[in-house]
A = this chain, B = another copy of it.
Amino acid sequence: MARTAGSHSQTTGPRVHDAALRLFAQHGFAAVSMRQIAAEVGVQAGALYNYTPDKQSLLFDLMRGHMDALLGERAARGGRGSPLARLEEFTRFHIRFHLARPDAVFVSYMELRNLSPENFAAIEGLRRSYENELEGILRDGVAAGLFAMQDTKIATLAVIAMLTGVTTWYRPAGRLSVDEVETVYWDMVRKTVAA
């Protein structure tokens, strides 16, 4: 479809974010210049500063956007059913959400070291919120006698690491569909925390 809607300024913002995400994922934040991002978008370097004050803000916006999307989807779901049903929903959601955004996942994990201290604290707070939902499910399951684990905080981080690891090997053209991958991981998560 021909691009007819939206003024230049309405469409350039998302294109700046897309270009920055792609370049950061490919080369790393520190190796990418504002000039390269401008060239990728097809605007003058000076014009980029209409959309973002600097590269740090761009990185922070990308990471915060990723976490906002994650937490927004969680707010719209979850919270209903038994701890086992909630854990299954969380597991399948985590795999699906992350497999759909490989560049954002990669940049969000890799580039934490390049955030300013305040920006790092803000992203850490959002990650903590996401982890807290899973830890709440695990605690409820332990209280109900359905789950057992030595440490709910470590179990939370272990399950998230196990699930996020799928992004390092999954290929859409491979032998398994996303649905099948979800089922294989759900079987493992269920056992990991079983009473």
Contacts and interface: CB of A to CB of B under 8 A. Distances in A.
Interface of A: 26-31, 110, 113-114, 149-151, 154-155, 157-162, 164-166, 168-169, 181, 183-185, 187-188, 191-194
Contact of A188 (B110, B158, B165): B158
A151 B193 CA distance: 19
A165 B169 contact: no
Contacts of A192: 188, 191-192
A165 B160 contact: yes
Each complex incorporates copies of this chain amounting to: 2
A28 B25 CA distance: 12
A2 to B, nearest CB: 35
Contacts of A31: 28, 30-31
Among A114, A161, A183, A185, find the residue whose CB has the most chain B CB atoms closer than 10 A.
A161
Given A31-B28, A110-B110, A161 B151 contact: no
Contacts of A160: 165
Among A110, A113, A149, A162, find the residue whose CB has the most chain B CB atoms closer than 10 A.
A162
Given A29-B28, A162-B165, A154 B184 contact: yes
Nearest to A150: B184
A107 B158 CA distance: 21
A158 B150 contact: no
